[in-house]
Chain A
Amino acid sequence: MKRYSIFSLARNALSHHEDWPQAWRSPEPKPAYDVIIVGGGGHGLATAYYLAKEHGISNVAVLEKGWLGGGNTGRNTTVIRSNYLWDESAHLYEKSLQLYEGLSQDLNFNIMLSQRGVVNLAHSEHDLRELSRRVHALRLNGIDSEVLSLDEVRRLIPILDCSPAARYPVLGASVQWRGGIARHDAVAWGFARAADARGVDIIQNCEVTGILRDGGRVTGVETTRGAIRAPKVGCVVAGHASVLAAMAGLSLPIESHPLQALVSEPIKPVLHTVVMSSAVHAYISQSDKGELVMGAGIDTWNSYAQRGSLPVVAHTVGAVCELFPIFGRVRMMRSWAGIVDICPDASPIISRTPVEGLYFNCGWGTGGFKATPGSGWVFAYTIARDEPHPLNAPFALERFSTGALIDEHGAAAVAH
């Protein structure tokens, strides 16, 4: 891998940037691999990268039906944080945040991790109590998080309407300063480039159409580009998890929904942190290009089509304008949807399955971008060793029969 740096930029400037190498190859699939990863989103690419880097398994193919990073990885609002309520979640997302903190250097690709702080607003006594509970838990878990008074909120976000006359006035907030945003495409591309450099084959435009089995064992996959064999197959296909599971005769407790997001036209920066409000149903940040990036709640019906409806978008924008009345004349520039995979407890599944050699990593729903490196890291471990890492052991499929759920639903109405 040719390293990227200011010096390589300068050197290439002399040759009019005509000598840059490919960031990754576009190889033809081989007949067989040691491990096949289905799904070239951030999680799939991270899994392949850590398989090669941490476990020395580089005879790996990542099969992507479209273009890499084109699923939810390239459609999300990029909020990163680890301030989750339950210990199991907090530890997993914290691992991920820590990996994020060194990721640009590790991948030699600037993913632009911007730790600008994630502020959660409280609008009722109930919100305040929940927020305090979370901050206390995080503190004892060793994860940064603090409560902000109304005055502190006002100073931090001067354009926020903190008036007591608001319908749901802001009463206070919590903040995780290490939280923030990152460039989603860069995360996918950085992992792809680094995995490719370690020998992983990233095969785009290759849709998996069947999962090959022999008795209770997986033996490979059927694809639009022919059968490919492997003793281990890891599926990381987000909204299409149930579709893939059905190919192996499995049924997952997952519902797929459209989730929409939108950006405004670029404006001069006025918002320097991420602001989330579950009571008013909005969250927003401002990108380094100046666009306001906003996320909606899910469209409530099930769907695999990456399309949402206008009223859901309008509702979100309304909430944003309620919190930030100066945005009324700023204009929405683009909106889109992804298909999110939602578990009954709003926590992911990172697990072996009843089919030997077949693993699933899904259920990240509305909030898995922040987990990308951590998810790949534990999933690589799980595939390499055929057993979960302690960090993801609680996230096994069995929890739905034992009842040991990790219910982040109750914990956050807006979970991004």
Chain B
Amino acid sequence: MTAPFDLRRPEGGRIDRARAMRFVFDGAGYSGYAGDTLASALLANGVRLVARSFKYHRPRGIATAGAEEPNALVQLRGNARSEPNIRATQVELYDGLVAASQNRWPSLELDLGALNSVFAKLLPAGFYYKTFMWPPGFWHFYERLVRRMAGMGRAADASDPDRYDHRWAHCDVLVVGAGPSGLAAALAAGRAGARVILCDEQAEPGGSLLGSGATLDGAPAMQWAGAVLAELGALPDVTVLPRTTAFGYYDHNALGLVERVADHAAEPLPGQPRQRLWLVRARQVVLATGAIERPLVFRDNDRPGVMLADAARTYLGRYAVACGRRAVLFTNNDHAYDAALALHAGGVDLAAIVDLRAEPGGLRVDAARARGLRVIAGRAVTATHGRSSVTGVDIARLQEGSDLAVLDRESIACDLVLNSGGWTPSVHLFSQSGGRLRYDEATGAFLPGRAVQAVRAAGSCNGAVALKDCLKQGAAAGAAAAGDCGFAAAPPALPAAEPEPESAPMRLLWVVPSDAPVGHKGKHFVDLQNDVTAADLRLAAREGYRSVEHLKRYTTTGMGTDQGKTSNLAALAILAEATGREIPAVGTTTFRPPYTPVAMGALTGRTVGALLDPARWTPIHRWHVRAGAVFENVGQWQRARYYPQAGEDMHRALARELHAARNAVGIFDASTLGKIDVKGPDAARFLDLVYTNSWSKLGIGRCRYGFMLREDGYVFDDGVTTRLADDHFLVSTTTGNAAPVLSWLEDLLQMEWTELKVRLTSVTEEYAVVTLSGPFARRVLTELTADIDLEPKAFPFMSLSHGTVAGIAARVFRVSFTGELSYEVQVKASYGLALWNACMEAGEKYGITPYGTEAMHVLRAEKGYVIVGQETDGTVTPYDLGMGWIVNDNKPDFIGKRGLRRADLQRPDRKQLVGLRLEAGERRKLPEGAHLVADRDAVPPMPMLGHVTSSYWSVALDAPIALAMIKGGRARMGETVYAPLPDRVAAATVVEPCFWDPEGKRLHG
């Protein structure tokens, strides 16, 4: 009695039999070895059915051994680390791995979604464009049903606990793919002294050598690979990145790589990122990305157990797994015979080799026959049998000129159907680089043509077949790439490969006939993941979707997570046939990044949470925190909005702060305002050009308020600028606009007015600014300074004094944004907190009260001072704000001068800034943003006059106030306007936009 056939072969493979790994799939426990993938381990355990297809929920198994896998998608890991749609063929097995099948209910074996198959006749490609239209407007109802069927796996149910890194790298030569060609290329470039990065998506470099059993110089080829890797490892400028996929090729030779640092373990080690995204800018790129075997399109070619021939060889050679016990090979080419011979040698019963060619010949075919294998020529597999696993195939003779194959029908029992339709070079990255592709008739494949960027293709992605040629092309490409980087490089000596047996031509037959016309019986799948059949593709062509892109979109072929790696070419060919064109005339679809899907976390890197955007704090921030301030984000800054005391809500806190600022003294942290130091002999001329008003005559030590406009005449920013010296100004900007203003000014200096001698420096963070504002401001400051004369005559409004405040060197500006007597004390940032504390102490007896941005807004609104971005929105001129006085039209030029002159900006009925007062006794504020109309009884759509820009409860007036921009506003003083609100219509009277101390006595006091 012979021992039962064990799918895990007793010897061979690159697995570590000493390290068993337990894992769980769909709740059942299994065991595999280190070095297995989830797919190889499942196959070794005899698990055939692993997934359901997207549309028809057909049972599916593992069809390939790599990145091209369309079927075997699983939900990997659990809880917060749960990941959908992971290809089992790319998951390295680790101890404790948990995976589950997806998109089935209630179970993989019994999936009710498979009912779709029953209605399949009603669901051809694009059926949804033709139906669900009745009754009108009911799509949302149908959509709910459709959405139930949507998706495959599930997103995790909690935040991803892992971290991701980003890394930027430069190199001379980036080699993508560490198969024989890539290794040879890296060796050639590395030896020449070039900085080389070699990446490969697999855990172990070697590519096709890992599973093929090839020899070099008479020894296993992996020995040579090992020696090359050792040499590369010893070269200081060579970086080898395993588990790293180059997924995108962008302009200027920038490539995106994703390194799976910790995916081969249950979770990353402490401190380790899960994945690392590399942005590599390479002077030269060598693509050695290999080729992917192409399935044949025959009837019911999707059952579990139908597999690419080379995949089966890989499973056997690399993982010592026989994918079945009794196999049939279905091929159109010689190459697949290698797989059959390998499987046969590995103990698999090879029931038959079904060859589409009438007269296959050549060494490989002879070898098969010599081993007694049954080669059945000129026939096709016309059907497969079985449900959750294939149990047999029908074969029949092909007839010239007929699309039926009915003669000499025969059934063969088997549990494995290997198939091969030839090879498709992986030109994805080459195409992404912008390179042109050319069609090669003989192999029925697109190959790299003219390159656009500094890139070369080598090896099987370049159409090479024999190992010898792969090595040669790789070495030549590596040497040439290094040479183009200026290194003296020569291709290294290469080991000798076994001679490649001469191969006979393949037979391209894009749709394999069966005993019924295509589409009438069973399904000829082209895109396995999206369940797109040959009949679907022909239907699309018939309906006029003749462009490949139309075909893709109409049928969804190639739009799955595998991006059609095994299906695109067949789809193209079927379209060409159906429309009577040659394949190159149809053209290929654009390959879009990424080559394989990339975790969004990896793209994100660390820039989430607190690191999303730097939070900027003033030097006094800690004090505000301790005082219990409520903060708001203003640009990147976090500013104290108000300082509630025990039991206070915002309204009460605000009232207290406002009262203090108007009646005693308030203290405010104004450090966030942008500060730009402008220096140079042409500084005044420069400011004359960027501001609407004039600066040349501003005295040293004097301050002036100014508007910057955009070219189109609209307000861009505002602020007070001070002349520090003849050639030296300090410009202040709004908090949020500091950076845009600086880059705009730099842009002007560097691009427009290169003749001006001016230097700009951002000094926003160099200084802390403490504002004292209120009737007692001077008294507080008097307590703190001995060397600054605070007498109004000596230190008038809108001027600057230098001196010491609280013993700290300071610049004191007498400016005001509150309408009260105010001083802005500016000190080196590191003294900011000390200054603040000193002010608080000195001001205690005057009732000094910190106020936040909210109170500041109210105070300025009472005065009618505008806030850029609140009263303005990019469509407002200084005239609209009633501030025409700030525009000096006599200047020969300033930015925005020409824009301001345009007819529409001169219209008298433009929206203009006004104040609004409510009816006496009205305590309810107008909502900010409320729109105003002239006619109380208007109904939508109604003509609008404008809107409320600011609206507050004024403590000083004990009434609500508002500012608004309304059409022809200045001519409407005294008129009543209405704000139709959801619950009422509010009436308001148009008034001057200044509610407090219109003569300005207080701030001049």
Question: Chain A interface (Cβ within 8 Å of chain B)?
Answer: 4-6, 8-10, 12-13, 16-18, 20-26, 66-70, 74, 87, 91, 101-102, 104-105, 108-110, 112-116, 123-126, 129-137, 139-142, 159, 161, 166-168, 183, 185-186, 189-190, 204, 264-270, 280, 287-290, 305, 307-311, 313-315, 317-322, 325-336, 344, 399, 401-405, 407, 409-411
Would you call B377 an interface residue if the criterion is a C-beta within 8 Å of the partner chain's C-beta atoms?
no
The interface stretch among B120-128, B201-209, B284-292, B442-450 is: B120-128
Complex Cα distance, B549 from A349, in Å, reads 29
Please report the number of residue pairs spanning A and B whose Cβ atoms sit closer than 8 angstroms.
332
> Lowest 9 CB-CB distances: which A-B pairs, in order?
A328-B160, A290-B151, A133-B929, A410-B874, A403-B902, A142-B940, A328-B601, A331-B597, A132-B929
Nearest B-chain residue to A116, judged by Cβ: B140
User: In chain B, residues 579-596, which have Cβ atoms closer than 8 Å to a Cβ of chain A?
Assistant: 590, 592-594
Cα separation A410 to B737 with both chains bound (whole Å) = 13
In the bound complex, what is the Cα–Cα distance between A329 and B547 (angstroms)?
35
Q: Are A322 and B608 CB-contacts (below 8 A) given A22-B543, A332-B598?
A: yes
Q: Which residues on A sit within 8 Å (CB–CB) of B903? A: 402-403
Decide: A185 and B554 in contact? CB cutoff 8 A. Answer: yes
Report the nearest A residue to B164, measured CB to CB.
A328
| Majority secondary structure of chain B interface residues (helix, strand, loop or mixed) | loop
User: Hey, which chain B residues are within 8 Å of A101, CB to CB?
Assistant: 137
Q: Is B303 an interface residue (CB 8 A)?
A: no
Distance of A264 Cα from B554 Cα, bound (Å): 19
Residues on B with C-beta less than 8 A from A166 are 609
Q: Is B159 an interface residue (CB 8 A)?
A: yes
- Interface size class for chain B? 35 or more
Which residues of B have CB within 8 Å of A21? Answer: 543
Q: A105-B136, A110-B129, A331-B85 are in contact. Are A266 and B561 (CB under 8 A)?
A: yes
With beta carbons under 8 angstroms apart, the residue of B83, B256, B632 that contacts A125 is B632
Cα–Cα distance between A130 and B949 once the two chains are bound (Å): 9
Instruction: Report Cα–Cα, A400/B600, bound state, in Å.
Output: 41
Q: How far is the CA of A134 from the CA of B131 in the complex (A)?
A: 37
Contact B904 A403 (CB under 8 A): yes
Are B603 and A332 in contact, with the CB atoms below 8 A?
yes
Contact call A265/B152, Cβ cutoff below 8 A: yes
Asked if A137 contacts B931 (CB within 8 A), the reply is yes
**CB atoms of A310 and B604 under 8 A apart:** no
| Cβ A4 vs Cβ B130 within 8 A | yes
- B798: CB under 8 A from chain A? no
Do residues B251 and A317 form an inter-chain contact, with CB atoms below 8 A?
Answer: no
Shortest CB-to-CB span from B239 to chain A, Å, is 19
B248 and A310 within 8 A (CB): yes
Q: Verify A110–B554 contact, CB threshold 8 A.
A: no
> Contact between A17 and B279 (Cβ–Cβ < 8 Å)?
no
- Expressed in whole angstroms, the Cα–Cα distance for A411 and B873 within the complex equals 8
CB distance from B519 to the nearest CB of A (A): 5
Contacts A110-B133, A112-B128, A318-B608 known; 8 new A-B pairs at CB < 8 A: A5-B130, A9-B131, A68-B550, A132-B930, A270-B154, A325-B159, A332-B598, A334-B593
CB of B9 within 8 A of chain A?
no
Contact B633 A123 (CB under 8 A): yes
Would you call A318 and B603 a contact (CB within 8 A)? yes
Which residue of A124, A264, A266, A327 contacts B632 across the interface (Cβ within 8 Å)? A124
Other-chain contact of A335, B137, B592, B612 (Cβ < 8 Å): B592
Partner of B553, one of A185, A308, A334, A409: A185
A242 to chain B, nearest CB (A): 19
Between B158, B597, B599, B603, the greatest number of chain A beta carbons within 10 A of the residue's beta carbon is seen for B603
Q: Enumerate chain A residues within 8 angstroms of B546, measured Cβ to Cβ.
A: 26
Which of the residues A110, A130, A314 comes within 8 Å of B277, measured between beta carbons? A314
Q: Is the Cβ of A335 less than 8 Å from the Cβ of B593? A: yes
**Residues on the B chain within 8 Å of A116, using CB:** 140
The answer to the question of B254 belonging to the interface, with a C-beta cut-off of 8 Å to chain A, is yes
**CB nearest to A20 among chain B residues:** B543
A414 vs B130: C-alpha distance in the bound complex, in angstroms?
A: 34
A-B contact pairs, 22 of them (CB 8 A): A4-B131, A22-B542, A69-B550, A125-B641, A139-B982, A140-B941, A161-B159, A167-B612, A189-B554, A204-B547, A264-B597, A266-B85, A267-B153, A268-B155, A270-B154, A288-B146, A315-B607, A321-B601, A328-B162, A328-B604, A329-B84, A334-B594
Tell me which residues from 542 to 560 in chain B have a Cβ below 8 Å from any Cβ of chain A: 542-547, 549-550, 553-554, 556, 559
> Which chain A positions have C-beta within 8 A of B845?
none
With an 8 A cutoff between CB atoms, is B947 at the interface?
yes
CB distance from A184 to the nearest CB of B (A): 9
Q: Closest CB of chain B to A173's CB: distance in Å?
A: 14
B132 touches A140 (CB 8 A): no
Instruction: Verify A13–B947 contact, CB threshold 8 A.
Output: no
Residue of B nearest to A186 (CB): B129
Name the residue in B130, B131, B434, B520 with the highest tally of chain A Cβ atoms < 10 Å from its Cβ: B130
Nearest B residue to A344 via CB reads: B712
Chain B residues with CB under 8 A of A26: 544, 546
Asked if A330 and B603 sit within 8 Å, CB to CB, the answer is no
Complex contact B931–A405 (CB within 8 A): no
Indicate the member of B535, B600, B610, B875 with the most A CB atoms within 10 Å: B600
Q: A134 to B873: give the CA distance in the assembly, Å.
A: 13
Q: In the complex the two chains form, what is the Cα distance from A126 to B928 in whole Å? A: 11
Inter-subunit contact B544/A23 (CB<8 Å): yes
CB pair B874 A328 closer than 8 Å:
no
**Is B250 located at the chain interface by the 8 A CB criterion?**
yes
Q: CA A204 – CA B904 in complex, angstroms? A: 42
Question: B870 contacts which chain A residues (CB < 8 A)?
Answer: 126, 129
Q: Does B18 contact A (CB under 8 A)?
A: no
A313 touches which one: B146, B545, B603, B980 (CB < 8 A)? B603
Binary per-residue interface labels of chain B (648-667) against chain A in the complex, 1 for a CB within 8 Å, 0 otherwise: 00000000000000000000
Which residue on A lies nearest to B638, using beta carbons? A167
**If A115-B140, A167-B610 touch, does A307 touch B251 (CB 8 Å cutoff)?**
yes
Chain B residues near A22 (CB, 8 Å)? Answer: 542-544
Find out whether the CB atom of A405 lies under 8 angstroms from the CB atom of B712.
yes
Shortest Cβ distance from A342 into chain B, in angstroms? Answer: 15
**Complex formed: what's the CA distance from A393 to B604 in Å?**
44
Question: Are A405 and B85 in contact, CB atoms less than 8 angstroms apart?
Answer: no
Q: Which residue of A lies closest to B561 (CB)?
A: A265
| Assembled-state Cα–Cα distance A217/B160 (Å) | 62
Tell me which residues across on chain A come within 8 A of B928, comparing CB atoms. Answer: 129, 132-133
Contacting pair A133 B947 (CB below 8 A)? yes
Check B600–A16 contact: CB distance below 8 A: no
Interface contact B150-A289, CB-CB below 8 Å: yes
Contact B608 A321 (CB under 8 A): yes
Q: Which residues of A contact B517 (CB under 8 A)?
A: 16
Per-residue interface assignment for chain B, residues 780 to 799, with 1 indicating a CB less than 8 Å from any chain A CB and 0 otherwise:
00000000000000000000
Q: Mark B506-525, 1 if CB is under 8 A from A, else 0.
A: 00000000000101100000
CB <8 Å contact, A409 and B874? yes
Residues of B with C-beta under 8 A to A269: 147, 150-151
What distance in Å separates the Cβ of A276 from its nearest Cβ neighbour in chain B? 17
- A307 and B250 contact, CB distance less than 8 A: yes
Chain B contacts with A in 102-145, Cβ cutoff 8 A: 121-122, 124, 127-134, 136-137, 139-140, 143
Chain A residue numbers with a CB within 8 Å of B942 are 140-141
